[in-house]
């Protein structure tokens, strides 16, 4: 097949809504493929949706118990023998640790479906992932394909605000998930990295529907504006606090954690503005990270925020969890306990960070049962690997 740079050139020259069609033609020509499909993970991260078919016109593929789901979950190519003497290769479509979907390629079983073919298909999937991220600015095709049901307007606003649902660098890996995925209110997260720093914010939104989404959008964009202006963590909190208070005069406010991780050392600067809680898993032991809470953003005029500090060690796992998890009630009215949460953290200890939030929220859904949701549920997982002497980041 064409080398990666040739594939990338073809994808760049294609119209945004035609980039997958261009890749399909390349694969069919090179490998005599019987079929080539792109499957995108849905917003709830429970199933894969065909991109070439509009929503609700083709059955989704579950992530659990399927060959495509296995490739997505493990982030490794997977092969399965198909009908009519074909072999289907499933390769993950991901970019910088953010899992987008799976490329499915059915090939003649009498052909050579070896490691070289899998490597070429993976290179093509990697190139496609980068182009999808760019193309989503100019076409709704891939965003639309991810939907197994319609998003509420508030949820539309919230998902457009997020940076992704996972990312990774040599020093860390992050995974995050929101529920109810298609009707979230105001919970949110954001991250940005530079050569030596990772800035992470986790917000527990106030209110419901459009009001909650508007509040979170104001606060997150104020924090981004301050960060991109070069302000320190306290300055970011101050600017966002002023923006929210100036708009709502203390009637609405936002509980937020602001963190800056120094990548070379693991030193963490943190401001707890009435925030979601933090748990740490270290050497198999689960413990809360105790902080001095300060006022939520926008609660009072002219609030002053003072950073605190702690240190993460290689192998540490931090989990940021919103009130919607702690306060979730069973059908009998029993609140989800801290003991149950600690058990869930321990049970998911061997999963990669990208899979932990979904696994924990599924356990919570089992406790809560079916029915309407009273509050958003947010889980963010950060695995700290640390920087080796030979690592210069990505």
Per-residue model confidence as pLDDT tens digits over 120-177: 999 999 999 999 999 999 999 999 999 989 999 999 999 999 999 999 999 999 999 9
Going by C-beta distance under 8 Å and a sequence separation of 6 or more, which residues neighbour residue 25? none
What's the pLDDT score for residue 270?
98
Residue 394, judged by CB atoms within 10 A of its CB (0-12, 13-18, 19+), counts as exposed
Structure tokens at 2: 């064409």
Dihedral of the alpha carbons of 382, 384, 390, 394, in degrees to the nearest 10: 10
List 201's β-bridge partners, or say none. Answer: 190, 258
Per-residue pLDDT, 328: 67
pLDDT at residue 110 greater than cutoff 90:
no
Q: Which two tokens stand for residue 301?
A: 């005029």
Q: What is the DSSP string of 96-138?
A: TTEEEEEEEEEEETTS--SHHHHHHHHHHHHHHHHHHHHHTTT
Lowest mean pLDDT across 125-129, 175-179, 232-236, 365-369: 365-369
**Structure token pair of residue 217:** 């959008």
Angle between helices 4-13 and 115-135 (to 10 degrees): 30
Rg (CA), the chain: 22
DSSP 140: S
Band (338; pLDDT cuts 50, 70, 90) = confident
Cα distance between residue 273 and residue 226, in whole Å: 16
Alpha-carbon dihedral 4, 10, 12, 16, rounded to 10 degrees: -120
**What pLDDT digit, counting tens, does each position of 7-34 carry?**
899 999 999 999 999 999 999 998 889 9
pLDDT digits (tens, 9 = 90+) for 353-363: 999 999 998 88
Residue 112 sits at the vertex; the CA angle it makes with 106 and 118, to the nearest 5 degrees, is: 60
Task: For residues 309-333, give the mean pLDDT.
Answer: 85
Can you tell me the distance from the alpha carbon of 15 to that of 25, in angstroms, rounded to the nearest whole number? 14
What would the two tokens of residue 103 be? Answer: 């490329």
Give the whole-angstrom CA distance, residue 280 versus residue 278: 7
* Alpha carbon distances (Å) from 265 to 232, 239, 283, 319, 386: 18, 28, 19, 20, 8
Cβ neighbours for 31, distance < 8 A, ≥ 6 positions apart:
1, 105, 107, 111, 117
Q: Please give the C-alpha separations between residue 172 and each of 17, 93, 159, 379, in angstroms, as whole numbers.
A: 33, 20, 23, 17
- CB neighbourhood size of 197 (10 A): 13
Q: What is the pLDDT of residue 330?
A: 65
> For tokens 């997505």, what's the residue?
72
Query: If you average pLDDT over residues 217-245, what whole number do you get?
Result: 97
pLDDT at 329: 63
**Chain CA centroid to CA 295, Å:** 27
Task: Please tell me the least confidently modeled range out of 8-22, 305-319, 372-386.
Answer: 372-386
């Amino acid at each position: 097949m064409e080398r990666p740079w040739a594939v990338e050139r073809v994808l760049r020259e294609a119209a945004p809504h035609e980039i997958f069609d261009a890749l399909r033609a390349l694969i069919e020509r090179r490998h005599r493929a019987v079929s080539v499909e792109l499957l995108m993970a849905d917003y709830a991260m429970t199933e894969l949706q065909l991109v070439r078919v509009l929503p609700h016109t083709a059955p989704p593929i579950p992530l659990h118990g399927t060959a495509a789901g296995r490739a997505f979950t493990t982030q490794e190519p997977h092969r399965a023998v198909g009908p009519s003497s074909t072999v289907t290769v499933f390769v993950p479509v991901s970019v910088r640790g953010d899992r987008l979907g799976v490329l499915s390629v059915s090939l003649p079983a009498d052909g050579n479906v070896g490691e070289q073919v899998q490597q070429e298909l993976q290179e093509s999937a990697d190139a496609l992932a980068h182009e999808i991220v760019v193309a989503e600015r100019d076409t709704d095709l891939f965003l639309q394909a991810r939907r197994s049901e319609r998003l509420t307007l508030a949820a539309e606003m919230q998902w457009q605000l997020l940076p992704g649902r996972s990312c990774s660098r040599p020093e860390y890996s992050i995974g995050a998930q929101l529920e109810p995925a298609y009707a979230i209110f105001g919970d949110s997260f954001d991250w940005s990295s530079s050569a030596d720093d990772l800035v992470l914010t986790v917000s527990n939104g106030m209110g419901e529907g459009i009001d909650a989404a508007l509040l979170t959008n104001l606060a997150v964009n104020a924090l981004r504006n301050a960060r991109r202006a070069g302000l320190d963590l306290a300055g970011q909190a101050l600017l966002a606090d002023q923006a929210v208070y100036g708009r709502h005069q203390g009637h609405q406010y936002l509980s937020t954690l602001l963190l800056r991780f120094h990548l070379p050392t693991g030193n963490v600067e943190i401001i707890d503005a009435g925030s979601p809680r933090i748990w740490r898993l270290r050497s198999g032991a689960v413990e809360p990270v105790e902080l001095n809470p300060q006022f939520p953003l926008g609660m009072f005029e002219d609030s002053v925020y003072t950073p605190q500090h702690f240190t993460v060690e290689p192998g540490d796992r931090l989990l940021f969890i919103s009130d919607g998890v702690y306060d979730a009630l069973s059908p009998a009215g029993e609140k989800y306990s801290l003991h149950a949460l600690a058990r869930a953290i321990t049970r998911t200890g061997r999963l990669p960070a990208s899979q932990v939030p979904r696994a924990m929220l599924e356990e919570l859904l089992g406790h809560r049962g079916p029915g309407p949701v009273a509050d958003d549920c947010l889980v963010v997982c950060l695995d700290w690997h640390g920087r080796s002497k030979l690592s210069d980041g990505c």
